Homo-oligomer: A and B are copies of this chain.
Amino acid sequence: MLPGSSIGQRLVLTSFGESHGKSIGAVLDGCPAGLEIDEKEIQKMLDLRKPGQSLISTQRKEGDIVEIISGVFRGHTTGAPITMIIQNSDQKSTDYENLKTKLRPGHSDYPAMVKYNHFNDYRGGGRFSGRLTATHVMGGAIARKLLKVTLGVETNSFTAQIGKIKMKNKFDEKMINSIYKNEVRCPEENTAKKMKDSILDARKKGDSLGGIIESITTNVPVGIGEPIFGSLESDLSKAIFSIPSVKGVEFGSGFQGSEMYGSENNDLYTIKKGKIVTKTNNSGGILGGISNGMPITIRIAFKPASSIAQKQNTVDIKTKKITTLLVKGRHDPCVVPRAPPVVDSLVSLTLADHALLAGAIKPVL
């Protein structure tokens, strides 16, 4: 929908709030009636994203306690829009006053100031802050449950790469339980350790790192997605690119597939346990924009965090003179470890939206 705060068509998430405002929240409209909802389940997913838990993330300490204020009655969804709110608590807005006119490299400051003629709330990035991804998680926790309960569909995302450190093995379903065993959210213990060290090292240098999240969704029924502009790739990428640091999205063999021959990249059909499957999954579970029943696999590139503790050259938008700035505030040296629940959320929201549209999930459970 146009002004940009909503996504989805049959299942619509509207996000509101700013980094340093009173509160942030989400309205999820179109969720089928009759889904059991427990605030604790939403809280659990929010906690996986929460800042302030270790040295590899920002030291801003937010309780991030979700409160459901509409749409749930006696523990079940009613069919009415579900509104969830988090009160902001640990803002330090004064950190931002000296940055009011100095443009932080890599951040939205410059285009936002021009676009809104300086009326935007610049504190902590305001509307553009990564903090807003908590609103995606609130809606996503419900979408994720809806998919699981009705179709057995489950999305699991994890850290596959931090800076230049990559996982050694291909992800397989047995690794699911290992994802959240470490702060980095990489299912390979040894790799996770190296990743953590590299983040701490970057932090020490006043620098930051990026990385890659992989996302696997299993049990997707065949036939979800619409041709052309409603393709799953279109709508999944639209959702995922709403995450502030994401600069690349690929499905299946993605960019690597571009270098292969058709005879290598084509996934040949076969029969397994009476079901039509493909031997390989270079398509990432999507053909012609429609799910083919194989796992949906996505790789997502995160740029290194833009806030670094180094003096940088920049421009003062008022004076139009070159100046230097040192970004204060408390920042993540690497946002990737906090991103898996956000990706899970956006993938789940998109697939639930399409499953409702395709009639695979009924409007009332």
Residues of A within 8 A of B (CB): 1-7, 9-12, 14-18, 21-25, 27, 29-30, 33-34, 69-71, 73, 76-81, 83, 85, 103, 105-112, 114-117, 119-121, 125-128, 132, 161, 163-164, 202, 207-212, 222-223, 225-231, 233-235, 237-239, 241-242, 244, 246-255, 257-271, 274, 276, 278, 282-284, 287-293, 299, 301-308, 310, 312-315, 317, 320-322, 357-359, 362-364
Contact = CB atoms under 8 A, between A and B. Distances in A.
A358 to B, nearest CB: 6
Given A2-B12, A24-B70, A237-B234, A163 B259 contact: yes
Nearest to A111: B290
Contact of A2 (B5, B9, B126): B9
B81 A14 contact: yes
8 contacts: A1-B9, A78-B121, A105-B267, A208-B263, A211-B258, A253-B303, A269-B314, A276-B317
B2 A10 contact: yes
B315 A271 contact: yes
Given A70-B17, A249-B237, A265-B106, A359 B357 contact: no
Given A110-B222, A117-B34, A314-B269, A262 B304 contact: yes
A277 to B, nearest CB: 9
Contacts of A70: 16-18, 21-25
A29 B14 contact: yes
Given A234-B239, A235-B238, A241-B234, A301 B258 contact: yes
Contact of A251 (B14, B248, B260): B248
A326 B228 CA distance: 26
Contacts of A307: 262
A100 to B, nearest CB: 12
A154 B239 CA distance: 26
A357 B306 contact: no
Given A127-B80, A257-B304, A312 B266 contact: yes
A291 B114 CA distance: 10
Nearest to A7: B229
Nearest to A321: B271
A79 B115 contact: yes
A33 B119 contact: yes
Given A23-B70, A78-B120, A358 B115 contact: yes
Nearest to A30: B3
A312 B79 CA distance: 29
A79 to B, nearest CB: 4
Nearest to A76: B119
Given A261-B209, A358-B363, A81 B237 contact: no
Contacts of A291: 111
A116 B210 contact: no
A120 B357 CA distance: 18
A247 B254 contact: yes
A212 B314 CA distance: 34
A252 B260 contact: no
A69 B217 CA distance: 36
A148 to B, nearest CB: 19
Contact of A230 (B2, B114, B163, B282): B2
